[in-house]
Every structure is written in structure tokens, then in C-alpha cells.
A and B are shown apart, each in its own frame.
Chain A
Amino acid sequence: MKPEILKQLRKITPDSGYSARAKEHILMSAPLPAQSGRLRSFAAFFSEHKLRVAMIAMVLVLFVGGFSVIQLLNPFKASPLDPSRLKVEAQAIDIQLQIANVGYEAPANGPESTQAMSRPSRVSRSSAKSGAANTAATSSPDVGIDEALDLLSQ
């Protein structure tokens, strides 16, 4: 293939009428202000890596959006109840019921009962501890759960 034939392609030129009209139309517009160095480099980077920037942005949106959805679906977050506070309150109820059981299991005699009240026996103490697991199911005739909750609220 001869290079001269390619050089003949230089004879391809635009229509003169079109050129004049196009030039006039272009020069009627005002050029944009110069971009700062950082902005220009950012714009150049963005224009060269459009697809990558778009994909990274999409991943970030999905990640943040998914994280937000998880937070919304969290029942503890949705409800006004605080699990740690509930745990503390439950432990307090347990202690109150143990004290109530100790009082209930104390003997009817005066000094023994007094002594029993002041110094709960190991048997009664252990029975109170073993009874702790059943406090939810059984209630003391002296102090019920409702009363215990009332005491706690005070």
C-alpha cells in the first residue's frame, strides 16, 4: 500500500459555509472559568474513571443502606426497652424474693424466730437460693411479684 494515497486524504475538507456558521456560533458562547489545580485533577480523575467511581459509590450506598436497615430491624432498638436495665431490674426482683422467702421460712418462736430473722440459717438460705429458680413460678404469701415491682418503682 502506497503512503501517497493516504496523504491524498488530506484533501478532505469541510464545507466553507458550515465552517463560518459553526465558528460564529461557537464564539458566541462564553468560556467556563478556569478550574483550580485540585479541582481540575479531580475532574480529570473523575472523567477518566467514571465507571470505577460509580461502582464504588454504589457499593458504599448499598453498605450504608444495608447497615441502616439492620439497625431498623433490631427489635431492641425499635422498642423503648433497654435490655441492660431490664436485666438489672430482674436481678433486683430476684433478691427481693429471696429476702421474702427467708422471712417466710423463719420459725414462729420468738427468740429463734428473731435469731432466724437476724441470722438466716444455712438451710433456709440454701432453700432460698434453690427457691430462687422457682420464684417466677411461685409467689410468697407475704410479698408478691407485683408488690416487689411496686417497691422497685419507688
Chain B
Amino acid sequence: MTDGEEKLIIARAVKGESSAFGQLYDVYQPQIYRFVYLRVGQREEAEDLTHQIFLHAWMRIKSYREEGYPFSTWLYRIARNQVIDHYRTRKVSQRIDEDREDQFVSGENVTLAVDAKLRLERVIRVIRTLPGDYQDVIVMRLVDEVPIRDVAKAMQRSEGAVKLLQFRATRALREVLEVEVEEESYEA
């Protein structure tokens, strides 16, 4: 979908056309689901939250204003707020779904090697031990490669603050992963 096409679809969705919003849902739902899943670590909760996010977006689509940012930036902002509210209201366990191989199944049904899967699970577990803002930056910047300007808008911070957050988040992630690798090597 090109930018021009997307703008037309968004304009139709803002007028209340459900099929147009359905197209936007198909494009952005996997991305938002991934963001939420990496934040909460559980499939069912990620599905519930993603549902709430898009329901919230559809209910308030008529109030959407572009303001020079992509539609995904608005969705990320809603997603961040929903995740924050989720942590405020519920006691969230640290478990992640380790027994669902289809978590990593792409559209072509590619299966991962066991060690790669374990490595990914470790990374996910480590990401979730970091502060919330670090997690947001890691997922948006390093996983989905969202531009800094859009991340700053979604997080309601300056671009400089986002850059600093990214630097600190990456360093923290590396430190924790290195410690885990060292511990595993001592145990082995």
C-alpha cells in the first residue's frame, strides 16, 4: 500500500466507512499485536489488548487527524496507553508462552531451529525485564524499525529523548543478555 493509497483509505475510514478501516486493520494488526505481545508476554492477553486497541481506534476514528505522522503512530500511542493501563490494573505474571511454536510462524509456515527459538525466547524474556519505556523503544525502533520522529510522537517525547532511550535500552539489553550467557556457560 503506497502512502497515497493509504491516505485515501484513512480518509474513507474517518468518514465512518468500515471496509476502509478493515483494510487498515489488516495492515497494522500484526505489527500492533507483536508490540503488545512483546510487552505482556502472553498470547491471550496480547490478543485481548490488541482487540481493545483496534476497537478504541475504530470508535474514535472520526476524531483522527493526520498531523503529519503515519497512521501507525496513532495506533502505537493507543497501544502504549492500553499496555500501561493493563499493568496498572492487573497483576501480570512474567510467564511467556514457551510451548506455542506457532508464535513464530510466518505466513509461509517457516519453522525455526530449536536453538534459534530458544534464543528468541530468551531475548523476549530479557526485553520484558527492562523498564516499560526501554521495551517500547526496542520494539518500535529495533524490531519494527519505526522512524525516530514517529516513535517520539507515539511516546510523546522529543527525538533526542528517544535517541537517548534507545541507547540506554540497547546497552541494558546487551548487559542482561551477556550476563545470562555467562551464567549459562558457568552452569554448563
- Interface, chain A (partner B; CB < 8 A): 1, 3, 5-15, 18-19, 22-23, 25-27, 29-35, 40
Contact A6 B123, beta carbon cutoff 8 Å? yes
| The residue from B22, B58, B59, B170 contacting A1, defined by CB atoms under 8 A apart | B170
Contact B123 A29, beta carbon cutoff 8 Å? no
Contact A33 B62, beta carbon cutoff 8 Å? yes
Contact B106 A22, beta carbon cutoff 8 Å? no
Contact A22 B103, beta carbon cutoff 8 Å? no
- Residues from chain B with Cβ under 8 Å of A13 in the complex: 30, 33-34, 105-107
- Residues from chain A with Cβ under 8 Å of B43 in the complex: 15
Least distance between A137 CB and chain B CB atoms (Å): 74
| The residue from A14, A23, A33 contacting B33, defined by CB atoms under 8 A apart | A14
Q: In the complex the two chains form, what is the Cα distance from A11 to B110 in whole Å?
A: 9
Contact B102 A14, beta carbon cutoff 8 Å? no
- Interface, chain B (partner A; CB < 8 A): 16, 18, 21-22, 25-26, 29-30, 33-34, 37-38, 43, 46-47, 50-51, 54-55, 58-63, 102-107, 110, 112, 116, 119-120, 123-124, 138-139, 142-144, 170, 173-174, 177-178
Complex A-B, nearest 4 residue pairs according to Cβ-Cβ distance, in ascending order:
A34-B62, A14-B33, A27-B18, A1-B174
Least distance between B158 CB and chain A CB atoms (Å): 16
Majority DSSP secondary structure for residues of A touching B: helix
Contact B54 A26, beta carbon cutoff 8 Å? yes
Contact A6 B107, beta carbon cutoff 8 Å? no
Contact B33 A29, beta carbon cutoff 8 Å? no
Least distance between A88 CB and chain B CB atoms (Å): 64
Q: In the complex the two chains form, what is the Cα distance from A74 to B119 in whole Å?
A: 75
Least distance between A93 CB and chain B CB atoms (Å): 70
- Residues from chain B with Cβ under 8 Å of A25 in the complex: 51, 55
Most buried by B among A1, A7, A18, A27: A1
Least distance between A150 CB and chain B CB atoms (Å): 75
Least distance between B26 CB and chain A CB atoms (Å): 8
In chain A, what residue has the closest Cβ to B35?
A12
| The residue from B30, B58, B142, B173 contacting A26, defined by CB atoms under 8 A apart | B58
- Residues from chain A with Cβ under 8 Å of B50 in the complex: 14, 22
In chain A, what residue has the closest Cβ to B33?
A14
In chain B, what residue has the closest Cβ to A27?
B18
- Residues from chain A with Cβ under 8 Å of B105 in the complex: 11, 13
Knowing that A13-B34, A14-B50, A22-B54 touch, tell me 8 more A-B residue pairs with CB under 8 angstroms. A1-B177, A8-B104, A14-B33, A22-B47, A29-B59, A30-B16, A32-B62, A32-B63
Contact B21 A27, beta carbon cutoff 8 Å? yes
Contact B116 A8, beta carbon cutoff 8 Å? yes
| The residue from B26, B60, B106 contacting A11, defined by CB atoms under 8 A apart | B106
Q: In the complex the two chains form, what is the Cα distance from A26 to B142 in whole Å?
A: 30
Contact B60 A32, beta carbon cutoff 8 Å? yes
Q: In the complex the two chains form, what is the Cα distance from A47 to B173 in whole Å?
A: 32
